[in-house]
């Protein structure tokens, strides 16, 4: 009888430890083995998810049997992709490519002087997609289709490759989360990451951008790292796979090197353990394994740079750089122009999970928050802080891998709540966040021009049928950091007022910054007044003699003219001065007329200007 009671006592003790560790941050490998996770069930689940993803991407991207315009191989995506046709079809000879194919995709450059293929991006994504490209090439041969490497047929295989890595990334991330949480919590986390963040857009629309592939490599890295840290016997093979995932991530985007910090800080318990772990990973044997794998992975890139520049190491982004002393943190988080939180408010819940973890003295929570801040700082220092045509703040799309733990912790705490109303409210909030993201996706209007104001953002939400936004006012603004969107604007890195780029006039530029609209297309009522502001920097004289012109034309005839003289405001050299004014629009002006603004430089003076605003009321 005593033995039986002792066995029951041991059983209760084990059960108690199991439930405590299930919600613990340091859930061990032994406990995960005894958990309810069923590998076969997970594999079936993710096969179903892969099939659904294939349907979603084909439904979203295929029209009349072709990939919808402009296709997947465009702009930055073309840089990532062209390594494959250049290697397997055209032998890196620019003259063998289809005539002016680079003009169609507006990305890579075929140099007609050197015969070389000029690419800015690294080849990591191309390495991952090579099996899918070769499958497309073999299928094109088998079905007697054009074997040019650029047709819709090839792009369909790239769509399949993208969702393959997307679903595989979710699979590895769930296996990682299963070592901390119950199956249901892990599943909820990956579904929220998949459907409420930027990942959905980059998996099912911009399939050749790098973010999904970094997401896959990060997920594999964090899972392998957890297995390696939890394992009793740490095998060289497992460390080699861990190193390979990190090496490929660094090749894909060099800034991905940031994730190496997780090797030191994941599941850390004390400062003493940090020192021990650093010594462990910096052990000569492990260091040599990683360095050797990283070098082998980088060899194709070294060879390409040698082909392109004559040097094995080459900076392929000339004129583009980080400005470490000028971070744009508030802008990347809160700007209506591709800001993180306005487009993807689910990140507030990620931060809430971090705060709860920190309040409960979970070191993973502290490091998650520090890592989020560090990644935000690094990406905000890039000269193009809004990252062009972006769905929210896209550089953090793949870093959602490292938001999974805080989100899982938040959900596990919600489950513990006694109040059913609060629980139900949180479920509704999660569903609304998913709905908000999907509505933006399926009504998406990519915007790469100028600088969005909050008016633009709410107009976007109105087009998404998410808000009923009365267009009583409209403010257009630009800091000249991005594509302008109307007529060519002359950019300069000299004398910028905000950040790094301004515009200018000189003896060769008599007019600049043309902004044209039809009055009736601006507001939901007649435009009555316009407020203008621009900051001007005179360099070669105290005056510029320049004029900011406003003209209204109807049927090609000038019917209204007003101007603001810069010299009424600018009377000093080498300093920025605000030029501003208000223009009243008479009632007799036909609102179907076209209004036109531009800066006129009749004397050919040299001056700079930045941060332009035109507000309609």
pLDDT the model gives residue 67: 84
Q: Is residue 230 part of a domain?
A: no
Q: Is residue 591 part of a domain?
A: yes
* E-state strands within 274-380: none
* Residue 353 near residue 409, CB atoms below 8 Å: yes
Instruction: For residues 127 and 132, give the distance between their C-alpha atoms in angstroms, rounded to a whole number.
Output: 10
pLDDT the model gives residue 9: 56
* Residue 339 near residue 332, CB atoms below 8 Å: yes
Task: Kindly report, residue by residue over 127-186, the tens digit of the pLDDT.
Answer: 999 999 999 999 999 999 999 999 989 999 999 999 999 999 999 999 999 999 999 999
Q: What is the rounded average pLDDT of the residues 486-507?
A: 83
- The model's pTM: 0.88
* Residue 575 near residue 445, CB atoms below 8 Å: no
Q: How would residue 19 be classed by pLDDT, with cut points 50, 70 and 90?
A: very low
Instruction: For residues 425 and 92, give the distance between their C-alpha atoms in angstroms, rounded to a whole number.
Output: 57
Find the helix or strand (DSSP H, E) in which 261 lies.
helix 261-265
Which residues are 512's β-sheet partners?
599
In this structure, of 461-470, 549-558, 571-580, the range with the lowest mean pLDDT score is: 461-470
Give the residue, 399 or 32, on which the prediction is more confident: 399
Residues 87, 90, 94, 99: is their CA dihedral positive or negative?
A: negative
pLDDT the model gives residue 18: 36
Instruction: For residues 387 and 210, give the distance between their C-alpha atoms in angstroms, rounded to a whole number.
Output: 13
* Residue 231 near residue 225, CB atoms below 8 Å: no
Q: How would residue 231 be classed by pLDDT, with cut points 50, 70 and 90?
A: confident
Instruction: For residues 456 and 477, give the distance between their C-alpha atoms in angstroms, rounded to a whole number.
Output: 10
Instruction: For residues 502 and 337, give the distance between their C-alpha atoms in angstroms, rounded to a whole number.
Output: 18
Report which of 547, 526, 528 is spatially closest to residue 536, judged by C-alpha positions: 547
How many domains does the chain fold into? 1
Burial 445-484 (b: 16+ CB within 10 A, else e): eebeebbbbebbbbbbbeebeeeeeeeeebebbbbbbbbb
Q: What is the rounded average pLDDT of the residues 596-616?
A: 93
Helix (H, G, I), strand (E, B) or coil at 564: strand
Question: Directed axis angle between helix 346-359 and helix 363-380, to 10°?
Answer: 140
pLDDT the model gives residue 32: 43
State the DSSP code for 106. T
pLDDT the model gives residue 54: 94
Residue 580: C-alpha distances to residues 339, 537, 577 (Å): 28, 14, 10
Q: Is residue 557 part of a domain?
A: yes
Report which of 577, 554, 575 is spatially closest to residue 564, judged by C-alpha positions: 577
Token representation of residue 139: 């299928």
Report which of 455, 478, 452 is spatially closest to residue 612, judged by C-alpha positions: 478
Whether pLDDT at 64 is above 90: no
Instruction: For residues 259 and 266, give the distance between their C-alpha atoms in angstroms, rounded to a whole number.
Output: 11
Whether pLDDT at 401 is above 80: yes
Range of the domain at 489: 474-616
In this structure, of 226-235, 263-272, 368-377, the range with the lowest mean pLDDT score is: 226-235
pLDDT the model gives residue 30: 39
Give the residue, 17 or 109, on which the prediction is more confident: 109
Q: What is the rounded average pLDDT of the residues 214-236?
A: 91
* Residue 219 near residue 170, CB atoms below 8 Å: yes
Instruction: For residues 294 and 300, give the distance between their C-alpha atoms in angstroms, rounded to a whole number.
Output: 11
Q: Which residues contact 108 (CB under 8 A, 6 or more apart)?
A: 78, 79, 82, 102, 117, 118, 119, 120
Instruction: For residues 594 and 486, give the distance between their C-alpha atoms in angstroms, rounded to a whole number.
Output: 14
* Residue 244 near residue 281, CB atoms below 8 Å: no
Give the residue, 573 or 225, on which the prediction is more confident: 225
pLDDT the model gives residue 466: 80
Q: Is residue 109 part of a domain?
A: no
pLDDT the model gives residue 33: 39
Q: Is residue 560 part of a domain?
A: yes
Number of helices (H) and strands (E) in the chain: give both, helices first.
22, 14
Token representation of residue 13: 């003790």
Report which of 577, 435, 596, 433 is spatially closest to residue 530, judged by C-alpha positions: 596
Report which of 487, 535, 532, 533 is spatially closest to residue 514, judged by C-alpha positions: 487
Q: Is residue 311 part of a domain?
A: no
Q: Is residue 516 part of a domain?
A: yes
pLDDT the model gives residue 450: 59
pLDDT the model gives residue 451: 65
In this structure, of 78-92, 96-110, 367-381, the range with the lowest mean pLDDT score is: 96-110
State the DSSP code for 256. G
pLDDT the model gives residue 11: 46
Which residues are 154's β-sheet partners?
none
Count of other CB atoms within 10 angstroms of residue 34: 10
Q: What percent of the chain has pLDDT over 90?
A: 67
Q: What is the rounded average pLDDT of the residues 77-101?
A: 93
Q: How would residue 470 be classed by pLDDT, with cut points 50, 70 and 90?
A: confident
Task: Kindly report, residue by residue over 41-62, the tens digit of the pLDDT.
Answer: 888 989 999 999 999 999 988 8
Whether pLDDT at 318 is above 90: no
Q: How would residue 445 be classed by pLDDT, with cut points 50, 70 and 90?
A: low
* Residue 449 near residue 355, CB atoms below 8 Å: no
Q: How would residue 449 be classed by pLDDT, with cut points 50, 70 and 90?
A: low
Q: Is residue 546 part of a domain?
A: yes
Whether pLDDT at 13 is above 60: no
pLDDT the model gives residue 35: 45
Q: How would residue 598 be classed by pLDDT, with cut points 50, 70 and 90?
A: very high
Whether pLDDT at 1 is above 60: no
253, exposed or middle or buried, with CB in 10 Å at 0-12, 13-18, 19+? buried
Task: Kindly report, residue by residue over 529-547, the tens digit of the pLDDT.
Answer: 999 999 999 987 778 999 9
366, exposed or middle or buried, with CB in 10 Å at 0-12, 13-18, 19+? middle
Instruction: For residues 406 and 350, give the distance between their C-alpha atoms in angstroms, rounded to a whole number.
Output: 6
Whether pLDDT at 8 is above 60: no
Whether pLDDT at 16 is above 80: no
Find the helix or strand (DSSP H, E) in which 532 lies.
strand 529-538
Task: Kindly report, residue by residue over 255-292, the tens digit of the pLDDT.
Answer: 999 999 999 999 998 888 999 999 989 999 999 999 99
Q: What is the rounded average pLDDT of the residues 239-251?
A: 96
pLDDT the model gives residue 24: 41
Q: How would residue 448 be classed by pLDDT, with cut points 50, 70 and 90?
A: low
For the chain, give the mean pLDDT. Answer: 88
Q: Which residues contact 596 (CB under 8 A, 6 or more apart)?
A: 514, 515, 516, 549, 550, 551, 552, 553
Whether pLDDT at 468 is above 90: no
Helix (H, G, I), strand (E, B) or coil at 86: helix
Domain with residue 532: its CATH number is 2.60.120.260
Residue 421: C-alpha distances to residues 120, 121, 350, 410, 431 (Å): 53, 50, 22, 17, 15
Instruction: For residues 217 and 211, give the distance between their C-alpha atoms in angstroms, rounded to a whole number.
Output: 10
């Amino acid at each position: 009888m005593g033995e039986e009671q002792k066995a029951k006592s041991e059983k209760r003790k084990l059960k108690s430890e199991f439930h405590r560790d299930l919600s613990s941050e340091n859930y061990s490998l032994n406990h995960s083995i005894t958990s309810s996770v069923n590998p076969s069930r997970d594999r079936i689940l993710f096969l179903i998810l892969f099939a659904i993803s294939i349907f979603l991407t084909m439904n979203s991207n295929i029209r009349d049997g072709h990939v919808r315009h402009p296709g997947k191989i465009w702009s930055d995506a073309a840089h990532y992709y062209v390594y494959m046709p250049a290697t397997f079809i055209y032998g890196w000879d620019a003259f063998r490519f289809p005539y002016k194919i680079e003009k169609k995709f507006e990305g890579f450059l075929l140099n007609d002087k050197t015969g070389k293929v000029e690419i800015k991006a690294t080849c990591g994504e191309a390495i991952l997609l090579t099996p899918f490209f070769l499958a497309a090439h073999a299928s094109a041969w088998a079905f007697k289709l054009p074997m040019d490497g650029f047709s819709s047929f090839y792009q369909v295989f790239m769509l399949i490759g993208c969702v393959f890595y997307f679903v595989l990334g979710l699979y590895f991330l769930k296996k990682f989360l299963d070592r901390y949480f119950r199956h249901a919590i892990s599943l909820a986390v990956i579904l929220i990451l998949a459907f409420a963040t930027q990942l959905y857009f980059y998996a099912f629309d911009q399939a050749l951008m790098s973010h999904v592939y970094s997401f896959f490599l990060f997920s594999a890295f964090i899972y392998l790292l957890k297995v390696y840290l939890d394992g009793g016997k740490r095998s060289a093979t497992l460390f080699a796979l861990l190193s390979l995932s990190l090496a490929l991530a660094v090749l894909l985007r060099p800034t991905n090197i940031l994730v190496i910090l997780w090797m030191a800080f994941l599941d850390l318990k004390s400062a003493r353990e940090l020192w021990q772990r650093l010594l462990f990973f910096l052990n000569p044997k492990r260091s040599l394994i990683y360095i050797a794998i990283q070098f082998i992975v980088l060899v194709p890139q070294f060879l390409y740079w040698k082909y392109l520049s004559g040097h094995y190491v080459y900076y392929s982004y000339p004129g583009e750089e980080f400005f470490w002393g000028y971070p744009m943190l508030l802008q990347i988080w809160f700007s209506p122009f591709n800001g993180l939180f306005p487009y993807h408010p689910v990140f507030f819940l990620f931060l809430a999970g971090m705060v709860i973890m920190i309040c409960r003295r979970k070191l993973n929570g502290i490091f998650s928050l520090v890592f989020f801040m560090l990644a935000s700082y690094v990406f905000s220092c890039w000269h193009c802080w809004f990252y062009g045509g972006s769905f929210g703040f896209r550089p953090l799309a793949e870093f959602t891998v490292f938001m999974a733990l805080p989100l899982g912790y938040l959900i596990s705490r919600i489950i513990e709540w006694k109040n059913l109303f609060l629980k139900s409210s949180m479920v509704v909030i999660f569903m609304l966040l998913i709905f908000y993201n999907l509505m933006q996706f399926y009504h998406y209007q990519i915007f790469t021009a100028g600088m969005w104001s909050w008016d633009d953002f709410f107009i976007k939400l109105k087009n998404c049928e998410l808000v009923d936004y009365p267009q009583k006012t409209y403010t257009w603004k630009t800091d000249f950091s991005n594509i302008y969107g109307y007529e060519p604007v002359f950019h300069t890195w000299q004398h910028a007022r905000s950040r790094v780029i301004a515009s200018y006039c000189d003896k060769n530029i008599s007019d600049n910054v043309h902004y044209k609209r039809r009055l009736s297309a601006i507001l939901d009522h007649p435009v009555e007044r316009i407020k203008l502001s621009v900051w001007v920097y005179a360099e070669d004289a105290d005056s510029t003699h320049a004029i900011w012109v406003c003209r209204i034309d109807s049927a090609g005839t000038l019917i209204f003219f007003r101007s603001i003289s810069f010299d009424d405001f600018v009377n000093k050299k080498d300093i920025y001065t605000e030029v501003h004014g208000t223009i009243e629009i008479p009632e007799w002006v036909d609102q179907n007329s076209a209004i036109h603004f531009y800066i006129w430089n009749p004397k050919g003076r040299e001056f700079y200007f930045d941060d332009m605003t035109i507000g309609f009321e």
